[in-house]
Chain A
Amino acid sequence: MADNRRQSHALWPGDTMMSPRYSINRRGALALMVGAGALVGFSNQSSAQVSSLLTKPIPSSGEMLPVVGLGSWITFNVGDDGELQDECASVMRAFFAAGGRLIDSSPMYGSAQQTIGYGLDKLSRPKALFSADKVWISDPGAGREQIAQSQELWGIPKFHLLQVHNLLSWEAHLQTLFEMKAAGQLNYVGITTSEGRRHAEIEDIMASQPIDFVQISYNVLDREVEDRILPLALERKIAVIVNRPFRQGDLIADTADQPLPDWISETGAKNWAQLMLTFIISHPAVTCAIPATSNVSHVQENMNAATGAFMEPALRKRTIDYVESL
């Protein structure tokens, strides 16, 4: 890890799709990221607790985001179970304490929004929060009402980012979101898909609509988005959020008994989860990965993946080859 940090070169040398924004030398990039990571640290915690996180800019605004966020699919859907709500609040506390910002949810995720609202209340509303939610309703006219309900559940006056979930009624909802953004009720607009579905439509929307974010599934084994979507995101200056970085835990479970590669120290990772996360966030098009967990030690482990260094392309290729060989 230390060796990588000392090298001075572009983030991904030789990548022809690289946007000028990324064409800075390694030392400069790391200094910028570390500095920004400190700036966006959890305001309600002492600065000493906040690690220096790798960050990347949201292309449409330049706002820096830590490269690891927090998903809430399944893990935060705990209903009215007070004990489990407290566990989720602890996960959020650990996330913010480590310098995390982006929490992602959806009306589709059961009680996850309610759990996030509970956690934010318990943590005295951390100012570092970057709230990312979705609109998910087939009635094109019901988007605003659903968004208002989501804001109430989170307990926030407005979202930083709203995305059209799985492209459901996307034409009408995108229009609503663009109107909200123009009115200052929203900072960013995005679209989402998962597990490789509807990629052709995602590409069409990315190419034709002024969206700020796209959310897709991407991991060391599911790399279809590398062909067209990630290059298009770089070209169109669209931030990329990566969901299902561990295939909902399957990748970690499948590799748990496998030996870590003997060159893992070159990646800065210390375990499988960090290796897989570092692989994802090292793609120049990826802005942020959002692993979901209900376990405090896991969120700390995930956040530690954002304190190392980005992998070089050769190391990413080596990671793919190794995981595929298992």
Chain B
Amino acid sequence: MTEWWSYRPSDFLMYSPRVYLRQIEIYNNALWPLQLVMLLVGIGLVWLLLRSRQNDGRIVAIVLAALWLFVGWDYLWSRLSSINWAATYAACGFAVQAILMIVVHVMPSKSRAPLLNGISGPVVAAVAVLLYPGLSLIAGRGLGTSEVFGIMPDPTAIATIGFLASMRQRYDFVLFVIPTLWCIISSATLYAMVDTTWWIPLAMCVLGIAATFA
């Protein structure tokens, strides 16, 4: 990219906030009441983490992998890509994340119990599951544009970072890459749209990573 330093986040924003938010609202309407199911799934995953029995980590990883595939396909590939061609690449990244979750946490034959690495990780995950949907109200966008775990990328990525912070294993660092990149992209997008909550995905990501080392 020539003269890359002259580009600003807004130069990469190829749709208006109105179009973006309407798309989320239409997507939410199409999936309703799956949001309620996902809320329960998210609560269940947090509970599994806190319970921390043998194979709970595997169950969490399988469910997360499925959700990364679902969000990547149903939102990024099938919806967002119609206004942002780069979303197709992001969708591929989400599929890669799903595969990595399986490879790192499910495929190893030796069963390992998730070592609960403090309470910080589950707290980050719980915030993404329970509180993130309310962000749209704080931002003045209305409930129709709520971003729900397992439906939209931001809370899914943040919750995953929280889960990963709870389940540190040998190759976990690889699993942080794509969720972190997504949070950076999301914050940059919201910043370009002059959304007052632009810093939240990035801040939650940093908190989640910090929880890993807590």
Given the known A-B contacts A75-B16, A110-B14, are A198 and B83 also in contact in the complex, defined by CB atoms under 8 Å?
no
A78 touches B83 (CB 8 A): yes
Given the known A-B contacts A74-B15, A74-B16, are A84 and B83 also in contact in the complex, defined by CB atoms under 8 Å?
no
- Minimal beta-carbon separation of B121 from chain A (angstroms): 36
Contact-residue size bin, chain A (C-beta under 8 Å from the other chain) = 10 to 19
A110 touches B82 (CB 8 A): yes
- Minimal beta-carbon separation of B86 from chain A (angstroms): 10
Of all chain A residues, the one with the shortest Cβ separation from B82 is A79
* A73 surroundings in chain B (CB, below 8 A): 14
Of all chain A residues, the one with the shortest Cβ separation from B26 is A81
* B15 surroundings in chain A (CB, below 8 A): 74, 77-79, 110
Contact-residue size bin, chain B (C-beta under 8 Å from the other chain) = 10 to 19
**A321 contacts chain B at the CB level, 8 A cutoff:** no
Of all chain B residues, the one with the shortest Cβ separation from A114 is B82
Q: B68-94: contact bitstring with A at CB < 8 Å (1 yes, 0 no)?
A: 000000000001001111000000000
* A192 surroundings in chain B (CB, below 8 A): none
A110 touches B84 (CB 8 A): yes
- Minimal beta-carbon separation of B26 from chain A (angstroms): 7
Interface residue ranges of A241-274 to B (CB < 8 Å): 248
A75 to B3, CA, bound (A): 26
A81 touches B22 (CB 8 A): yes
Of all chain B residues, the one with the shortest Cβ separation from A111 is B82
A198 touches B23 (CB 8 A): no
* A322 surroundings in chain B (CB, below 8 A): none
A80 touches B16 (CB 8 A): no
* A294 surroundings in chain B (CB, below 8 A): 16
Q: Which of A78, A79, A196, A197 has the most chain B CB within a 10 Å cutoff?
A: A79
A52 to B15, CA, bound (A): 33
Q: B1-34: contact bitstring with A at CB < 8 Å (1 yes, 0 no)?
A: 0110010001101111001001100100000000
A168 to B211, CA, bound (A): 43
Picked from A74, A110, A195, A196, the residue with its CB within 8 Å of the CB of B85 is: A110
Given the known A-B contacts A78-B19, A81-B22, A84-B19, are A197 and B14 also in contact in the complex, defined by CB atoms under 8 Å?
no
Of all chain A residues, the one with the shortest Cβ separation from B16 is A74
Interface residue ranges of A274-319 to B (CB < 8 Å): 294
Of all chain A residues, the one with the shortest Cβ separation from B4 is A197
* B11 surroundings in chain A (CB, below 8 A): 195
Given the known A-B contacts A110-B14, A195-B11, are A77 and B83 also in contact in the complex, defined by CB atoms under 8 Å?
yes
- Minimal beta-carbon separation of B161 from chain A (angstroms): 29
* B13 surroundings in chain A (CB, below 8 A): 74
Given the known A-B contacts A74-B14, A110-B14, A294-B16, are A80 and B82 also in contact in the complex, defined by CB atoms under 8 Å?
yes
Residues in chain A within 8 A of chain B (CB atoms): 73-75, 77-81, 84, 108-111, 195-198, 248, 294
Residues in chain B within 8 A of chain A (CB atoms): 2-3, 6, 10-11, 13-16, 19, 22-23, 26, 79, 82-85
Can you name 27 A-B pairs with beta carbons within 8 Å? A74-B13, A74-B14, A74-B15, A74-B16, A77-B15, A77-B83, A78-B19, A79-B19, A79-B23, A79-B79, A81-B19, A81-B23, A84-B19, A108-B14, A109-B14, A110-B14, A110-B15, A110-B84, A111-B82, A195-B6, A195-B11, A196-B6, A197-B2, A198-B2, A198-B3, A248-B10, A294-B16
List the 4 closest A-B pairs by CB distance, nearest first: A79-B82, A79-B83, A110-B83, A77-B15
